[in-house]
A and B are shown apart, each in its own frame.
Chain A
Amino acid sequence: MTEENTDRVQMQDVYKDYGTNHVIKDVNLNVKNNEVVVLIGPSGAGKSTVLRMINGLETTTKGHILIDGADISQPHVDINRIREKIGMVFQHFNLFPHMTVLENVILAPVELKKADKATATAEARKFLETVGLTEKADAMPASLSGGQQQRVAIARALAMHPDIMLFDEPTSALDPEMVGDVLQVMRQLAQQGMTMVIVTHEMGFAKEVADRVVFFDGGQILEQGTPTEIFDHPKEERTQSFLNKVLQA
């Protein structure tokens, strides 16, 4: 088993350019086992890009990203095998609209032969119970509320038994009254010791669950530390002004 202090994710001197636009500049970020890291910062700061680089949805222009020691920018590394260990939850849920909730959850385990259909189904029901949606197993995604869809998306990611979970602004597209249910599910995961990287604007939630908060600005990490360090005693002026703006709102 991975030890407590091992780095599951290592980003080393990572750069990302879109033509002449440098969106990520020299980012070094490690995520330890069981650690909950929350990325905050203004829009366009590169938080989501960094998150998407961790499972290879974005490529790097320069630098290395290691997942459990394997460099995903190397061609011989099977990115599909690595992704099986990394669950991802998107801002817009991205449920498969032509499948029922249950089919959404069992698709990957069955297709990738992680489980036979009966086992996968039994497990899927368990995950749906975890996110509080047992009764929606046979519903189509379009008939669910945003909050319900996002919780299905979390169950779908959990069904692959990931070691790491990535959350890309999971509550940004939700009506305010839906946010609580989703955060509650994420809180449970954190308590169970899931390694998580979260991009969010929910500062209260970040303060509560994060082991470490990382502040991004202009494609770079400006400062990082414990929630207390960042929220109560920010060192950088940019961090202070950002927090003032979001906390006032």
Chain B
Amino acid sequence: MQRKSFVTGLFVILAGLFLTLWSAKPAQAAEKHYTIGTDVTYAPFEFANEKNQYVGIDIDLMNAIAKTEGFTVTIKPVGFNAAVQALEAGQIDGVIAGMSITPERQEKFLMSKPYYNVGVVMAVKQGSKIKSLKQLKGQRVAIKTGTAAANYALSVKDKYGFTTVTFDDSNNMYQDVTTGNSVACFEDSPVMQYAINTGLKLSIVTKPANPTGYGFATNKKNTELMAQFNAGLKKLKANGQYTKILQKYLGTGSKKSQAAANKKTQETDRSFFGLLKANWGTLMGGLQETLLVTVVAIIFATIVGILVGLLGVLPNAFARGISITFIYIFRGLPLLVLALFIYTGVPSLIGAKVPAFLAGIITLTLNEGAYTAAFVKGGIEAVDVGQMEAARSLGLPFGKALRKVILPQGIRIMVPSFINQFIITLKDTSILSIIGILELTQSGKIIIARNMEGFKIWTMVALIYLVIITLLTWLSNWVQKKVQA
């Protein structure tokens, strides 16, 4: 009897926990309010300015149209791929992210009338001998996944005999060219021009090819929002607001005026400490989010891990089966795959949105929880079987024997693993940048997307992680000494 109630208790707690996580879904968006996804790194269309507010042609256009047409928007810079997947999954209502209108996309989504026309250009490192597509034979070229420029590159790849390497954001693609790993990259002309004006050491060597228009995308059913966007765009073009927005970011046409327009959005002091000072707020904001995600995830993962680990040592084959399966699946899945699955896969399955923060917490809880369960189980199993036999032979029921005799000894064995797992969890939060959580790594990406100072900013980010992990290690060692004394 005792044993049964113990098993049942565990199930109830586990089930309750999952229900809490699951039912924490947000209320559906109110009428006339839309969530729009955008890229993090696509200046001048969207980027964070020196005050780390989101600005750019796409952002200003979207806000202006919303105002004209009488709806409100929340714009979420989650990254281009994440935004498109989130739109497919119904997590967001629209995407405005310098998205070229292509037949494939029109198949999947509703796409607006073009609001900006671009062509694809090829850029090489300044001073490079490569000046044309023909010289790319046998060379490696960097592209950004899912973009029209990437499609163009892939379409001419065989003709000119080059290989490609793909990146998730523009800056990483540019860096691959400046470091010489790739000889060239392909990008939409205004974006490439903007980055070069900002100080990127690349040169454009081809004329814009494959002209396409940028369009706003919604899912196929959202004809209302699409109609409003098209109508709003028409009005902005008619009243001159459209031209104003373009000039704000691109200048009046000359390179000089564009450079001047750029400068307004940039830090003035480009030294390490100048950049650190200018971006301190953003980095600390990111750190705060990282710590929040870490702490919440550690709490949930520890609870889930202990419960699942305990299930794994119960004298009940069904309970042990659940534990083994849980550990097998969630320890087996890469964190990145799990995060994308929960954020973009699950919503299309259950037909409801899963906010990024919740998706991130669930991801970490399942993954870190599986690792925790494995060492909790192992820690308990490492306690001499004679201990359980002695406790049971005194008449103690299984649950009491576990709690009073086995766990106190098992926990001492587990403490170093717990500390290790906390540190891993802290580091693993960086992977959640893929689903747009604005944590430390994502904050770094955003800053770099604006100022192209990859080396200095990543150094800052790395140092912040090291400082935090050092503090966490000290704290853990102190706790360890207390527990094992």
Q: Are B2 and A80 in contact (CB under 8 A)?
A: yes
- Give the complex CA separation of A157 and B394 in angstroms: 7
Determine if B351 is an interface residue (Cβ-Cβ < 8 Å): no
Return the CB mask of A23-53 against B: 1 if under 8 Å, else 0.
0000000000000000000000000000000
- Give the complex CA separation of A84 and B400 in angstroms: 14
Determine if B1 is an interface residue (Cβ-Cβ < 8 Å): yes
Task: Decide yes or no: A57 and B396 within 8 Å by CB, A78-B1, A94-B384 being known contacts.
Answer: no
Task: Decide yes or no: A92 and B386 within 8 Å by CB, A98-B408, A107-B404, A111-B400 being known contacts.
Answer: yes
Q: Are A90 and B389 in contact (CB under 8 A)?
A: yes
Q: Are A90 and B386 in contact (CB under 8 A)?
A: yes
Q: Which residues from chain B contact A95 at a C-beta distance below 8 Å?
A: 390
Closest residue of chain B to A91 (Cβ to Cβ) is B386
Q: Are A96 and B405 in contact (CB under 8 A)?
A: yes
A111: min CB distance to chain B, Å: 6
Return the CB mask of B395-431 against A: 1 if under 8 Å, else 0.
1110010001100110010000000000000000000
Determine if B392 is an interface residue (Cβ-Cβ < 8 Å): yes
- Give the complex CA separation of A153 and B408 in angstroms: 19
Q: Are B393 and A111 in contact (CB under 8 A)?
A: no
Determine if B387 is an interface residue (Cβ-Cβ < 8 Å): yes
Q: Are A83 and B395 in contact (CB under 8 A)?
A: yes
Q: Are B394 and A57 in contact (CB under 8 A)?
A: no
Q: Which residues from chain A contact B409 at a C-beta distance below 8 Å?
A: 96-98
Return the CB mask of A135-168 against B: 1 if under 8 Å, else 0.
0000000000000000001001100100000000
Instruction: Pick the residue among B1, B390, B395, B404 that contacts A94 (CB under 8 A).
Output: B390
Determine if A245 is an interface residue (Cβ-Cβ < 8 Å): no
Q: Are A90 and B390 in contact (CB under 8 A)?
A: yes
Instruction: Pick the residue among B384, B392, B396, B408 that contacts A112 (CB under 8 A).
Output: B396
Task: Name the interface residues of A103-127: CB closer than 8 Å to any CB of B.
Answer: 107-108, 111-112
A53: min CB distance to chain B, Å: 12
Q: Which residues from chain B contact A153 at a C-beta distance below 8 Å?
A: 390
- Give the complex CA separation of A160 and B394 in angstroms: 7
- Give the complex CA separation of A103 and B419 in angstroms: 29
Task: Name the interface residues of B372-394: CB closer than 8 Å to any CB of A.
Answer: 384, 386-387, 389-394
Instruction: Identify which of A81, A97, A111 gathers the most chain B CB atoms within 10 Å of its CB.
Output: A111
Return the CB mask of B42-71 against A: 1 if under 8 Å, else 0.
000000000000000000000000000000
B443: min CB distance to chain A, Å: 45
Closest residue of chain B to A98 (Cβ to Cβ) is B408
Q: Are B386 and A112 in contact (CB under 8 A)?
A: no
- Give the complex CA separation of A160 and B395 in angstroms: 9
Closest residue of chain A to B395 (Cβ to Cβ) is A84
- Give the complex CA separation of A96 and B412 in angstroms: 14
Q: Are B390 and A83 in contact (CB under 8 A)?
A: no
Instruction: Pick the residue among B384, B390, B396 that contacts A80 (CB under 8 A).
Output: B396
Determine if A86 is an interface residue (Cβ-Cβ < 8 Å): yes
How many A-B contacts are there with CB distance less than 8 Å?
61
Q: Are B396 and A111 in contact (CB under 8 A)?
A: yes
- Give the complex CA separation of A95 and B2 in angstroms: 24
Q: Which residues from chain A contact B408 at a C-beta distance below 8 Å?
A: 98
A-binding residues in B (CB < 8 A): 1-2, 384, 386-387, 389-397, 400, 404-405, 408-409, 412
- Give the complex CA separation of A97 and B391 in angstroms: 12
Task: Decide yes or no: A55 and B405 within 8 Å by CB, A80-B2, A92-B386 being known contacts.
Answer: no
B368: min CB distance to chain A, Å: 27
Q: Which residues from chain B contact A96 at a C-beta distance below 8 Å?
A: 387, 390-391, 405, 409
Closest residue of chain B to A76 (Cβ to Cβ) is B1
Q: Which residues from chain A contact B393 at a C-beta distance below 8 Å?
A: 55, 57, 83, 86-88, 157
Q: Which residues from chain B contact A83 at a C-beta distance below 8 Å?
A: 392-395
Kindly list 19 other residue pairs between chains A and B, CB separation below 8 angstroms, not including A96-B409, A98-B409. Answer: A57-B389, A80-B392, A83-B394, A84-B394, A86-B393, A90-B386, A90-B389, A92-B386, A94-B389, A95-B390, A97-B409, A98-B408, A98-B412, A107-B396, A108-B391, A111-B396, A153-B390, A157-B393, A160-B395
Closest residue of chain A to B407 (Cβ to Cβ) is A98
Closest residue of chain A to B398 (Cβ to Cβ) is A80
B1: min CB distance to chain A, Å: 7
Return the CB mask of A152-189 against B: 1 if under 8 Å, else 0.
01001100100000000000000000000000000000
Q: Which residues from chain B contact A94 at a C-beta distance below 8 Å?
A: 384, 386-387, 389-390
Closest residue of chain A to B394 (Cβ to Cβ) is A108
Closest residue of chain B to A159 (Cβ to Cβ) is B394
- Give the complex CA separation of A83 and B391 in angstroms: 10
- Give the complex CA separation of A94 and B2 in angstroms: 23
Task: Name the interface residues of A44-90: CB closer than 8 Å to any CB of B.
Answer: 55, 57, 78, 80-81, 83-84, 86-88, 90
11 A-B interface contacts by CB (under 8 A): A57-B393, A80-B2, A88-B389, A96-B387, A98-B409, A98-B412, A111-B400, A111-B404, A153-B390, A157-B393, A160-B394
Closest residue of chain A to B383 (Cβ to Cβ) is A97
